[in-house]
Structure 1
């Protein structure tokens, strides 16, 4: 989740101005970039327990990495993130370590950035007796065993989540994801990409599933992270039907966002709890507790960070549907979406694969994916039926870029040829070499 910031102080004067916020993200294809975000769980080598903020834990990690040219981000005087150039390091609620990468031109740059970050993490973690493992859901710890980071917005969310779902606190503390952020050229280009990526996000969830354990045992899920999202806060997550309605565009999405309940307003370095209240009321000067005050464009940008749809529209598109995984799989995740969305012929071919599907159809598949994975229903067959045709489209899309980026699809080619997904691999290890003990996953998945 994003680090805090008050941003643009321009007052909001209407819906068209909010639509203009998204429109400002349009850029020619020559300026398209790749932005990645990826999270990982910390663990103590001796006990496998998640490290606290301090002592000898997450704060020490931030301070150690920060010594290498990073600028600290503070919340009430405590470091809760880092920034350097166009990249940042931030903390999820239980200390999951996140890199929000800079803007890269090619997947080769993305891979190099990931490798550099993981090396920085290892360098600081090892003397502290810590390791880090990118998995979609914590395989061992209970919710109560997870620590909480001193980040203001998380206190607000912690109190609000149990009011709107049963699994929101698990989402905050026991999940990790990988995300790729991609550009659009125009409103029409945004609509095409958003519809295709929402339609195929469940396929990505199944393909990259990497969280089959719950508190030390299998519980029937392949992606516990995805299972958590089925009952976190459905007013702000999932597949918004408005995206598939005639006439959808920037203004319609802005209007949808106004009715997503708020979490907070950030003022003078402090978070003001507005959880459950209406941004639409805020625009009218009628927000309870802040009567007479009106929002700024920075407030709207902050509010957008609290929308948790499977694909999120900002001034770019965020693919949010996958578990964190091995470095090779996280790079493959970026490669999959770049190949699909950054070549017009590939995008057109993908549109044909999803043509005629409604948001309701897609939600049926989404509900089945956490437990069924690639065997979840898709039209008259299964998601697995998409593996070969989709990877062919992606291969062609990457080839059209002429950068030799197809090498990063190798883990996906192996799955298409019959290899297990990450979740299936871990289950085989649990039932075989590990003899029913999940703890070896930390050493085997560690970066």
Structure 2
């Protein structure tokens, strides 16, 4: 999650909220790809979680990255909580349990995205190794309990930590023990947004299966292939899920605004201070009658920050965020944006993807969402396995990337970034099942080798 917004322009009405979203529309030649990925830092000696403070802590890591990259520090009071590339638009931020996130810059091609990922991971390794730290890309921390997991010094996370146990059983697990990779993509118009949102929501469980990579909790198999995805089924259902209303007649920016207005707030930010307003209504702030800031009207930053606390499987801001995938190996970090770019940024592929999902009912979409965390490729819809559906989806994405025809300096197009997904499909196994095979075989029932064999 990148830094919170600081635009103090007042919002006068609900129409302003709609207009703010609508301002995200851009012509296709201005479409960009923004990739975000989280990873777990761990100590090379002992494979323990990494605290914020101390000579070998997260603060030292951020300060080392700042010196290496020359990015600007993001501060909360006197505390460094991230870094920002004010030129390129990327950022490094901290998730609640110390998960280290790169929010990538808006880029033109997957070639650029993968170069960005490569540069970032190489820089992180350059700074982390002398500190005795490594990084792991899994959907859930495989070893540590919640009690062992450190807490990062960010005001919004304190508020969320207090609120989460009131609204679901897995909110703290989500915050402190999961990692994801997501891609942010643009839309040209309201109709284009709706088509992409619907395709994204319907196919998010397919992406979850392709990237399922969280089979361990506290050193043992947890019974799931994507426990990260399962966690979201009972984190806070007022702000998460498959948004069935998105498929109803009349879906558009206004309908999403009404949905967001009904999602309870977490906080209001004034300066560096986070005011805990968890459970309260943004409608009160919009009307200038919120008890935490009497007489104050909502600002653009209040709205942008509120939208960042809504967690459906696809999230609408001034772009669309695909949120269904576990963090994974180096190649998977480039595969996720390649998959969705191939599906959504080529009109023929977008139409083909919509043709695939348009007749699915809300119950079928939800059934798929519920089954995939446990069953992965074995889940079924209308007699077809997710493995078969995923093969169709990846093929559509491949055709879209081929038609985009964005070449690198060696003349290669973007389809090569799908090879890791096609390998999973040919094996018929999710990444999680490959991990479980190793756990039950050469790892002799231990998760410790994951920190060596699967570290970045």
* TM-score bracket for this pair, using the shorter chain length: over 0.9
The structural deviation recorded for 1:419 is: 5.0
Shift of the alpha carbon at 1:415?
A: 1.7
Q: For the aligned residues, what is the CA RMSD?
A: 1.0
Write out per-residue CA displacement over residues 393-419 of structure 1, whole angstroms, 9 at most, x where no aligned residue. Answer: 111100110120001110111122125
2:233 counterpart residue number: 230
Superposed counterparts of 1:124-163, under 5 Å: 124-163=127-166
User: 1:295-325, CA deviations, whole angstroms, 9 ceiling, x for partnerless residues?
Assistant: 0111100100000010000000000000000
Other structure's SS at 1:143 match: coil
Measured in 2, the distance between the counterparts of 1:290 and 1:58 equals 34
Of residues 287-296 and 168-177 in structure 1, the stretch that sits farther from structure 2 once superposed is: 287-296
Shift of 1:379: 2.7
Deviation at 1:292, TM superposition (A): 2.2
Q: How does 1:295-334 map to 2 (within 5 A)?
A: 295-334=298-337
Is it true that 1:354 corresponds to 2:327 in the alignment? no
1:45 is matched with which residue? 44
- Assess if the C-alpha contact under 8 Å between 1:5 and 1:266 holds in 2: no
Query: Where does structure 1 differ by over 4 angstroms across 4 or more consecutive aligned residues?
Result: none
Q: What does residue 411 of structure 1 align with?
A: 420
Counterparts of 2:225 and 2:291, CA distance in 1: 42
The number of equivalent residue pairs is 446
Q: CA deviation at 1:229?
A: 0.5
Which residues of 2 match residues 163-182 of structure 1 at below 5 A?
163-182=166-185
2:449 to 434, 440, 443: 440
Task: Give the drift of 1:242.
Answer: 1.8
Gapped regions of structure 1 (runs ≥ 5): none
Q: 1:358 to 1:292 in 2, by over 3 A?
A: farther
Q: Give the whole-Å Cα distance in 1 for the aligned partners of 2:450 and 2:62.
A: 25
Given that residues 2 and 305 in structure 1 are in contact (C-alpha distance below 8 angstroms), is that contact kept between their aligned partners in structure 2? no
Q: Shift of residue 16 of structure 1?
A: 1.7
Inter-CA distance 352–257: structure 2 relative to 1 (3 Å threshold): same
> What CA distance in whole angstroms lies between the structure 2 residues aligned with 1:335 and 1:268?
38
Aligned partners of 1:240 and 1:359 also within 8 Å: no
Give per-residue Cα distances to partners, 1:170-226, cap 9 Å, x unaligned: 000000000100000000000000000000001100110011001101121001101
Query: Structure 1 pair 57/213, CA: closer, same or farther in 2 (3 Å)?
Result: same
| TM-score normalised over the length of structure 1 | 0.98
Give the counterpart of 2:284 among 281, 285, 292: 281
Given that 2:387 and 2:428 are in contact with CA atoms closer than 8 Å, whether structure 1 keeps it comes out as: no
Q: TM-score, normalised by structure 2?
A: 0.96
Task: Tell me, in whole angstroms, the C-alpha distance in 2 between the residues paired with 1:147 and 1:360.
Answer: 39
Q: State the distance in 2 between where 1:239 and 1:267 align.
A: 32
Unaligned residue ranges in structure 2 (runs of 5+): 407-412
Contact 2:117-2:333 at 8 Å conserved across structures? no
Q: How does 1:36-435 map to 2 (within 5 A)?
A: 36-55=35-54, 56-68=56-68, 69-84=70-85, 85=87, 86-403=89-406, 404-418=413-427, 420-435=429-444
Q: Secondary structure at the match of 1:166?
A: coil
Secondary structure (helix, strand or coil) at the match of 2:339 reads helix
CA distance in 1, matches of 2:5, 2:24: 19
For residues 244 and 265 of structure 1, the distance between their equivalents in structure 2, rounded to whole angstroms, comes to 31
State the shift of 1:380 in Å: 2.8
